[in-house]
A and B are shown apart, each in its own frame.
Chain A
Amino acid sequence: MEQMNNERIFTVTEVNNYIKHLIQNDVLLSHLHVKGEISNFKHHSSGHIYFTLKDADSRIRCVMFKGNASKLKFMPEDGCAVILRGYFSIYERDGQYQFYTEDMIPEGTGSLYKAYEQLKKKLAAMGYFDEARKKKIPFMPRAVGVVTSPTGAAVRDIISIIRRRCPCIDVYLYPVQVQGAGAENEIAEGIRYFNSKGNVDVMIIGRGGGSIEELWAFNEEAVAKAVYESDIPVISAVGHETDYTISDFTADLRAATPSAAAELAVPDMQSLLGKLSQYQYVLNSAIANFIKDNRSRVERISGDSVFRQLERKVLNMRQTLDSLDKYLDYNMLNIMKGRRNEIDKTIEKLQLLNPEAAMGRGYGIIMRKSDGKLLTSVKDMKLNEELYIKLKDGKAEVRVKGLEST
């Protein structure tokens, strides 16, 4: 290193390196956000982006390298108001300080994010997202209301999936604009429309994927309010899996995509029919086994000696039953067979109560001769009336000679 008047003389490179060192070690300049408007935008074939960030009075040279530039979710252009994140450094070759951009968002989006966070906080405090107030999605709605754009993939997916899964369910489409000025009010009106009509049991609101600005209507309070106030359960399906809107949080159920919403809204008919026919099969085989078991039980009892004694009476009853059979279908006949056991037991009990059995023990039956009526009280008898006394081996004819109540 040369000296001039005892002072050190630096090379250009040394100076630039020194300044670079200072800048890079500065707490502020090594990590900061800068907002401004893009001009002289150049997307180089290398993939790097070069532009100037300016405001009314000043400008900064900026670069964004390929690695970061390829992650951008939008294509910046001249005139874009943006917020940059990055650091300052020196480009030694030109002795030019510049801003090394790591990330870039449109400035409008920045305020959208802010609005989103603020509204989310406010509505959460108002109880809009409370799990406790979320309504259950009906298992089998009569009809599904759809509030979405009448064009594009979302509406087509929703309708075709509902039609495929459960063709018996009606679908009512309330076509709305899902983006642009006033879209949020149209969506809210659609939700209120179905509530006022009461013609659907569940609603799907949503749209296909898009930028945050395009999804924005679903982050508006008007939509959230209509969803919150809806008596009909609402499924919200906005954008892709990774997009979470205020409408999603407020809805009774969030679906990752419009297709998923359709699947959550209606059951699959084919699998239900399969289930039903399986149930019918189980019912039929269960009842067949049941009847079989009972029949063999009746047959077992038929073999008992007690039963034999009563068999004649049973046969008589069965004859009567048989004559009725022509009016009974096969199922009823099986019921009768099953009930035979019960009937037989009843007959057995009746047998024990048979008064004729008592006659052997000295009891008799008194009947009026004129009409054969069984008499149990002297009050039923008149003086000189003719009666029968029936005993176990015959009857005697008698006349009332005196009446005396005890």
Chain B
Amino acid sequence: MNENFSFEQALKRLEEIVETLEAGNISLEESIKIYQEGIALSKLCSGKLEEAEGKVMAIMNRGSEQMEEFSISQIKEA
């Protein structure tokens, strides 16, 4: 995930926008502006959730700290 993107902050801002817009006591110009911001945030958030399949990696070699793909099917019963 993008390091500069705070999902939590984006979601919080989006919630503010939804509230403001629902309350409705702002100018049309302002409401169009935050509406567009809201839609962009919501797309950004859902995009982040759906964009990429995360990896499961394991540090297999302590010495080299090399990572390898790790799958649940590799797990042996203890």
Contact = CB atoms under 8 A, between A and B. Distances in A.
A276 B29 CA distance: 24
Contact of A151 (B15, B57, B78): B78
A290 B51 contact: no
Contacts of B45: 272, 276
A173 B57 contact: yes
Given A151-B77, A156-B72, A279-B42, A172 B21 contact: no
B59 A272 contact: no
A305 to B, nearest CB: 25
A384 interface: no
Interface residues of A, number: 49
B78 A279 contact: no
A286 B35 contact: yes
Interface string B8-38: 1001001101100110100011011001001
A175 B59 contact: yes
Contacts of A143: 54
Given A166-B49, A335-B29, A152 B24 contact: no
Given A168-B50, A171-B54, A279-B14, A286 B21 contact: yes
Question: Looking at A140, A166, A272, which has the most chain B CB atoms within 10 Å of its CB?
Answer: A140
A140 B8 contact: yes
A287 interface: yes
Contacts of A139: 7-8, 11
A288 B60 CA distance: 55
Interface residues of B, number: 44
Given A153-B78, A175-B59, A279-B14, A290 B28 contact: yes
A251 B20 CA distance: 39
B52 A168 contact: yes
Dominant SS among interface residues on chain B: helix
Interface in A138-168: 138-140, 142-143, 149-153, 155-156, 159-160, 163, 166-168
Given A171-B57, A172-B59, A290 B72 contact: no
Interface string A268-302: 01001100110110111011011100100000000
Given A167-B53, A273-B46, A279-B38, A175 B28 contact: no
Nearest to A142: B1
B56 A173 contact: yes
Contact of A290 (B8, B18, B24, B53): B24
A269 B49 contact: yes
Nearest to A334: B32
A159 B69 CA distance: 13
A97 to B, nearest CB: 45
B7 A287 contact: no
Given A160-B72, A286-B21, 6 more contacts: A171-B57, A197-B65, A272-B45, A286-B18, A286-B35, A287-B31
Closest 5 CB pairs of A and B: A152-B78, A140-B7, A139-B8, A173-B58, A286-B21
Interface of B: 1, 3, 7-8, 11, 14-15, 17-18, 21-22, 24, 28-29, 31-32, 35, 38-39, 42, 45-46, 48-60, 65, 67, 70, 72, 74-78
